[in-house]
Amino acid sequence: MSDSQRNCPHPPDPASSTWTCWCHSIGEYGMVSKVPKEWQERRRPGNERFKVKLSPMMARTFSGLFFTCLMLPGLIQGQQDAADAPSARSSCPEGFAFHGSHCYGLLGLINNETWNSAELLCQAHPSGHLVSLLNNAEANFVATMIKEYPGVQCPIWIGLHDPNKNRRWRWSSNALFLYQAWESGFPSGTNPNYCVSLSFESGFHSWRDEPCEKKYPYVCKFKA
């Protein structure tokens, strides 16, 4: 704020005074002096400095306009800040749920897919893969999302698999394999399988290794 704005007097007696105002840009308004009523001056719009003679009623009106001018920059800045602020909830496509910085969707409820087909379908979304579950909070979120579909009573494919068939599990997204939630007795040591599902019996919290050729619904995950 300029000195002229800070030191701007209360509206003078309109019967005896005239205000001089200047304007270089929105937010730079102020009363700078009193001048004789007879003096009027205009300059071309390049500088936009002007002096005007005000009637008593105009003086009161100008007082309100001046206050509005001082308030306007703050209001505009507030609107810009709100527009620039990150959204509290990023948008995901219809039918997908948001968690962290990713979108999650339960797909294949009507047309079940093999693990490989499900992974390819998930890759149709930018950065998409079958879901990787990297911690307990994410696993709980996905289990809760699946249970919102009460008709689902079968295993659900996730992105964990054993591509080299050497019992070294990997996420299809190449995320680090640190978190584990195997169901008791899995992965099978006597009848190994190479793709992983969430079991219905565990409330979709625990994992089982399954033949990759089986057809189940699946969960896709991609960046929001």
- 21-69 per-position pLDDT tens digit: 333 333 333 444 444 444 344 444 444 444 445 455 555 544 554 444 4
Q: Which amino acid is at 180?
A: Q
Q: Which residue has the higher pLDDT, 175 or 45?
A: 175
Position 154 pLDDT exceeds 90: yes
pLDDT of residue 91: 85
pTM for this entry: 0.61
- E strands, 3-155, are 19-23, 29-34, 41-42, 49-51, 97-99, 102-107, 129-130
Q: What would the mean pLDDT of 150-168 be, rounded to a whole number?
A: 96
CB-CB contact of 105 with 95 (8 Å): yes
Which CATH superfamily does the domain covering 97-223 fall into? Mannose-Binding Protein A, subunit A (3.10.100.10)
Position 82 pLDDT exceeds 50: no
Q: Where in the chain is the domain with CATH 3.10.100.10?
A: 97-223
Position 114 pLDDT exceeds 70: yes
Share of the chain above pLDDT 70, in %: 60
Residues 6+ away with beta carbon under 8 Å from 43: 49, 50
